[in-house]
Amino acid sequence: MSSKVAYIKDDNLTEICSNIPNVGDRGKLTHRLVEAYGLFKFMQVFPVKPASREDLITFHSQSYVDFLIEADEWSDYENREEDQEEYGLGYDCPLFTKVYKFASLVAGGSLTGAQLLVDGDADIAINWCGGWHHAQRDEAKGFCYVNDIVIAIQKLREKFDRVLYIDIDAHHGDGVENAFSSTSKVMTVSFHNYGLGFFPGSGAVNDVGFGAGRYYSVNVPLKDGVTDDQFSWLFTRVMDVVTNTFHCDAVVLQCGADCLTGDPVGTFNLTPHGMGACVKKVLTWKLPTLFLGGGGYNLTNTAKCWTFLTSIIVGKTLSSDIPDHTDFLRYGPDFDLEISAGLRKNSNTFSELNTIVDNITANLSNLP
């Protein structure tokens, strides 16, 4: 029996996401490429139900949310710098017109997907405009103004007792890990670059959570240049250990495409096939699953990647030739869905990766 797949697509959400630094119109690019390949025929498309203030404060502090509501009406941001700094707004998270509307729509997109899973109206939900994993309880961080992931997981927990969160973005999923670091009901697993000066600088293998959540935070720190073969092998090894220990009822997979080769902020050699192997692994569990976007700052590569992952989710094989559509010229000069593996020096050895698996296995052996 095939899975019921829901795809979150909303013009208001994609339009307002273009206000985020370095994100541009990648949401529109992705939706149009998914459409050009005819994949919407195999999914049900849902618009976003905006998140309410009450939805946002299931994770974020009331003072932070109220500040965003107030800032929504500002026209002069420069004379309010002190107010902004308290909440991490500025530099990589500058204020912009209708920032609260943005937060409401971003959180609403992932909440909509989670609600469909909770209600049984979908087995799988996709929101490529979600996945903002750095936002903290009371501050914006790393282009992330609201943590839609945490809010969606809170919604999933209304029905599903134990939720597994997996993050394959190039950056550590610190905001999500911090939110659940003291609970045994949500296990967070983050695969990420962990190197000197690489944002956010957290996520060592021995960062395992606290109190009742000790050992329910799993971190897989990687060096520059990891390849598809290494990444998919490591993902399988780690997730086999995780799922043998933590028996979850639902899954959230954040697919940040900044782990791809050619990303202006990423340092890996991955192609969509490396990420696709992770998606295929998760699909074998046949659990209610929410797929989210995240980072990804080479916009056309990100659109290619998320379209390819969508095809895996619906079980369709795509031609490597980009179909003719509105954005066709953006994919020149090769007009090819494929992305060649990167040539960055690989600083990861299989011996080191084995050690990471051994450390994670030892950590998880402490769980009941």
Q: Is 273 a catalytic residue?
A: no
Measured distance CA(29)–CA(326) in Å, rounded: 9
The β-bridge partners of 290 are: 125, 252
Q: Which of 133, 134, 171, 172 is catalytic?
A: 134
Helices 228-245 and 272-283 cross at an angle (nearest 10°) of: 20
The two three-digit tokens of residue 40, written as one number? 């919407």
Tokens of 225: 């240049």
Quickly list DSSP for 264-302: SS----B-HHHHHHHHHHHHTT---EEEE-----SHHHH
Rounded CA separation 319/144 (Å): 34
Distances (CA, A) of 260 to 186, 200, 236, 250, 299: 27, 18, 19, 26, 11
Beta carbons within 10 angstroms of residue 118's beta carbon:
18
Give which of 100, 98, 10 is closest to 51, Cα–Cα. Answer: 100
Kindly list the catalytic residues. 134
